Structure 1
Amino acid sequence: MAVVAVVVACTALGAFGVQSYSHGIRIEGLGGDAVLDRADMADLRLTVAGKEGADLDRVRVTLDGKPVRTRPAGGRLAVRVPELTEGEHELAVRADTVLPFARDTKKKFTVDTVAPRLRLSDARVERFGAPVTVRGRVEDAGRVKVTVAGKPVSVADDGSFSRRLERSPGSIAVTATDAGGHVTSENVNVSMPYPVTRAAHLSAIGWTSPALRDPILELARKKRINAVQLDIKDELGEVGYASEVPMAREIGAVKGHYDARKVIDQLHGMGVRVVGRIVAFRDPILAEASHRAGKDRRLVQDPSGEPYNGGSYGKLSFTNFADPEVRKYNSDLAAEAAKLGFDDILYDYVRRPDGDLAGLRFPGLGEKAPEESIAEFVAETRDRVRAEGAFLGASVYGIAATRPTEIAQDIPALAESADYIAPMVYPSHWAAGEYGVTSPNSSPYDIVHRSLADFAKQVKGTNSAVVPWLQDFSMGTHYGPEQVSAQIKAAADNGMNSFLLWNAGAKYQGAALPAMK
């Protein structure tokens, strides 16, 4: 922010019978509010005028104590204003005289062409909902007003400020407003250190099978894992427990395979974290119900307005991430699950369908890029989930680190809101030659290590962790303990000690999992 102080210095000569300059000389071209913004500066014209008969030849003009040039212009003096820097200045107009009792008349104004600069400190808590203090610093402290979470705060002489909130939301708005009306707004994301989490995936219906459930619980008892990833809403659109979310019941998505509170209590009693997975925008149940009801705005469409054919996923498979009702449905499930006690809410299929963007329509998206809208959806969920004390994660494709527009997953943008990013870096899913690896599926360490290094770069500067999905299944190449162990080591060598294991059949290589302390 630039502040310009203009001083009009006029010599008083009236007491000696000579024309008075104290009220006879004036500066023209300065607004009454004494603040010039960028537009004012672009059109700045300053002149010096006097009473009729005033001898302007005897007037000297200085800026910050240094003479500035003037030229006659229609009975006035046009001031040749040099380039003004941001900051305080002083302009003086003085009649050249040797008479005593002369005085200077001063006037101040402000030039403000740059919005205030905010520097905000990270806000970290030991648990969500705990008190948090927001701290920051702003330039030009004396002329900037700051609000934190909508309330004004005092700004010290050095520009520092702080405010304590008794309950930490997910994000806290900070605004700085300067004398020129320029506003800088930023958000402080409240973060909590993500605990080391080693989880195995289990579907909702899989929980009902002792043959699938018990071996996973045994891995937890032996401290091979310390978390279970249990589906809340799966790829079919089925909600695994008896949800009370109105839309889930309206469209027939509620299946009630398990009692969420009992399962969570059981796992917590074992010291095991519970990661609840919500398959967000791949949702055949919601898609079909919406189409039947004539609400195709909830669906991804083709250019003709028909439901988009998702290929192997089916025609009525992908719902529209830009639709408010679709977004609310998923965030309602996330908030309910967090309130039930799930430690994490992990979004999956938080993306657009892959394929040529020209062949897709997203009603309501407007001018936004798909990846921007999806990142905003994750941010909308954050406060609701954190209010219940849960972490928020986002599962992403491995290619998203380098090709964010292919499926609309912008990793830096998602990392601003998610507590962790969960890249699916399964070796079997990489094409030959990716990251310089000739055969990714037979080189699990190399492909996982190199791809995760990219994700580490993408989240740098955010408070988001990287918790990769690792492959514990065979596809084209047999995967046993050695291959799974190689991936775990590749993640650890990138400083990532948390991971999620995927096997659709919920059968895991316990021998690949070292016991946790």
Structure 2
Amino acid sequence: MAYRKRQRNTRKYWFLILLIALIICAPFVYKYLTNKDGDVNNFISSIIKPGESTVETLEVGFNDYLESPGVSYNLYSEAPKVKGLYVNASAVSSKERFNTLIDIANTTEVNAFVIDVKNDSGRITFDMDNPQSDEINAEVKYMKDINVVMDRLYENDIYPIARIVAFKDPWSSKKITDLAIKNKDGSLWMYDKVSWLNPYNKDTWDYVLNVAKKAAEVGFKEIQFDYIRFEATRSLNNADFGVDAENKTRMEVISEFVAYAMKELEPYNVKVSADVFGTIITSKVDAKAIGQDYLDMAEKLDVICPMVYPSHYGKGFFGIPRDKHSDLYPYETILGSMTASNEKYKELNGKKAAIVRPWLQAFTASYLRKPNYKSYGPEEIRAQIQATYDAGLEEWILWHAGSKYNKDALLKEQ
């Protein structure tokens, strides 16, 4: 009996403690539930909005606690009329240089940057968590935090284009030799001490496109393939491309890669562009040698970017005197090449085709022997832009390997 009496006393004791605790805590609980405004409905409505399901509300609530970019990556649902600059990855890695380039975009007509993602050496310029490139240590990580870079581009209304060098790749071709162009004795094929990936090998396609997909995932709105071709040399005639090369021309395999890339990248909602030699517009010999069929590629791509630098032509092109190099005539060279493009497009008979966006020369070609070149300043650059417009085109990109541009060549932002 004494034991049961002690039990009853103990229960009374703990009941009193619980009651006292509830009395003490009640004001704080009420204040929390009323959201500090004395209205329970305000608190509830802050969690569940009228007309929304509980599941949707919970998703919103959790997102409030997650880190999210400060800008909307849906900004470019439609691509602008690109007036762009090539920007190498080292320029992005330098705070001072990147700020200078952004200032150019903010104060002039420039609205796009073409940024190296996979460069001429085959190196990838940011950490993209790609097992295949990780395995061969292809990443250099010039851009230490790609999300910060993308945020800055979007915050400044700069359309982001990823430059991906496709088949010229001395790094990956040496690390994954099965993907490389070989000599007939099995050794690596090289030109000017540079080895290339084999465009006939579909595993090569997937390697390149995995990089492109990662670029799209971080926010690039256009994938631009460079060196989407074969090297321009007769020594390729002695190379071994494998059994797939027996029944396909170089132009056919490059066109097939373009079609495959378009299909693979379609779910990523990006534009796809490609750089091509300017000479293939009018030269069937050049087109066959490097594998670029201008019209066939144009029918598949969103944008085609002929590299029509005046320094890359010789003497006597486009009505230029036969004893004068085209580098001395920036306006005439661009107008002539883009007029030739317009004429070539007529063969499509109105079929939908890629936007033509030429690469223009923003560098001085001092490697040409005098008197075959001139200094390219604001006047020469502006002449090329005007020639582009006079040919009826609306887009262009400037190339300077060091990403150094003169603002005086560009119109002020309106």
Aligned match of 2:189? 308
Alpha-carbon distance in 2 for matches of 1:248, 1:303:
27
2:356 equivalent to 1:466:
yes
Aligned match of 1:243? 128
Alignment check: 8 A CA contact 2:169 2:196 kept: yes
Q: Equivalent residues in 2 for 1:161-176 (5 A)?
A: none
Q: Which runs of 5+ in 2 are unaligned?
A: 1-76, 367-373
| Structure 2 counterpart SS, 1:405 | helix
Alpha-carbon distance in 2 for matches of 1:214, 1:193:
26
Task: Give how far 1:303 is off.
Answer: 4.2
Aligned match of 1:429? 312
2:213 equivalent to 1:328:
no
Q: Equivalent residues in 2 for 1:87-236 (5 A)?
A: 195-236=80-121
Alpha-carbon distance in 2 for matches of 1:388, 1:309:
34
1:282-323 deviation per Cα after TM superposition (whole angstroms, max 9, x unaligned) = 1111111023xxx2xx22233444322212xx14x2110111
| Structure 1 counterpart SS, 2:176 | helix
Aligned match of 1:396? 276
Alpha-carbon distance in 1 for matches of 2:204, 2:93:
29
2:162 equivalent to 1:283:
no
Greater helix share, 1 or 2?
Answer: 2
| Structure 2 counterpart SS, 1:504 | coil
Alpha-carbon distance in 2 for matches of 1:359, 1:193:
45
| Structure 2 counterpart SS, 1:277 | strand
Aligned match of 1:257? 142
Aligned match of 2:297? 414
Alpha-carbon distance in 2 for matches of 1:211, 1:458:
43
Q: 1:367 to 1:193 in 2, by over 3 A?
A: farther
2:180 equivalent to 1:299:
yes
Alpha-carbon distance in 2 for matches of 1:333, 1:289:
16
| Structure 1 counterpart SS, 2:306 | strand
2:259 equivalent to 1:362:
no
**Counterpart residue identity of residue 429, structure 1:** H
Alignment check: 8 A CA contact 1:397 1:424 kept: yes
2:217 equivalent to 1:339:
yes
TM-score of the superposition, structure 2-length normalised? 0.73
2:387 equivalent to 1:490:
yes
Match of 1:349 among 207, 227, 247: 227
Alpha-carbon distance in 1 for matches of 2:239, 2:337:
28
Alpha-carbon distance in 2 for matches of 1:512, 1:378:
34
TM-score of the superposition, structure 1-length normalised? 0.59
Aligned match of 2:9? none
Alpha-carbon distance in 1 for matches of 2:93, 2:237:
43
Aligned match of 2:402? 505
Alpha-carbon distance in 2 for matches of 1:227, 1:379:
25
Aligned match of 2:58? none
Q: Which runs of 5+ in 1 are unaligned?
A: 1-191
Identity %: 29
**Counterpart residue identity of residue 448, structure 1:** I
Match of 1:441 among 303, 316, 327: 327
| Structure 2 counterpart SS, 1:406 | helix
Alignment check: 8 A CA contact 1:224 1:510 kept: no
Alignment check: 8 A CA contact 2:275 2:307 kept: yes
Alpha-carbon distance in 2 for matches of 1:369, 1:516:
46
| Structure 2 counterpart SS, 1:382 | helix
Q: 1:462 to 1:253 in 2, by over 3 A?
A: same
1:326-355 deviation per Cα after TM superposition (whole angstroms, max 9, x unaligned) = 110111111221122101100000001111
Alpha-carbon distance in 1 for matches of 2:263, 2:308:
28
1:180-208 deviation per Cα after TM superposition (whole angstroms, max 9, x unaligned) = xxxxxxxxxxxx97530111111112211
Alpha-carbon distance in 1 for matches of 2:137, 2:108:
38
Alpha-carbon distance in 2 for matches of 1:506, 1:478:
17
Alpha-carbon distance in 2 for matches of 1:510, 1:217:
12
Alpha-carbon distance in 1 for matches of 2:412, 2:264:
34
Q: 1:359 to 1:194 in 2, by over 3 A?
A: farther
Higher relative contact order (CA 8 A, sep 6+): 2
Alpha-carbon distance in 2 for matches of 1:436, 1:262:
48
Alignment check: 8 A CA contact 1:334 1:381 kept: no
1:72-123 deviation per Cα after TM superposition (whole angstroms, max 9, x unaligned) = xxxxxxxxxxxxxxxxxxxxxxxxxxxxxxxxxxxxxxxxxxxxxxxxxxxx
Alpha-carbon distance in 2 for matches of 1:372, 1:484:
35
**Counterpart residue identity of residue 405, structure 1:** K
Report the structure number with the largest CA radius of gyration.
1
Alignment check: 8 A CA contact 1:484 1:509 kept: no
Q: 1:387 to 1:412 in 2, by over 3 A?
A: same
Alpha-carbon distance in 2 for matches of 1:509, 1:428:
19
1:351-397 deviation per Cα after TM superposition (whole angstroms, max 9, x unaligned) = 01111252333223231111111111111111332321110000011
Q: 1:429 to 1:505 in 2, by over 3 A?
A: same
458-467 or 411-420: which moved more? 458-467
Task: Give how far 1:406 is off.
Answer: 2.3
Alignment check: 8 A CA contact 1:194 1:419 kept: no
Question: Cα RMSD between the aligned structures?
Answer: 1.7
1:388-432 deviation per Cα after TM superposition (whole angstroms, max 9, x unaligned) = 111000001111112311211101111122101101111111111
Alpha-carbon distance in 1 for matches of 2:78, 2:391:
17
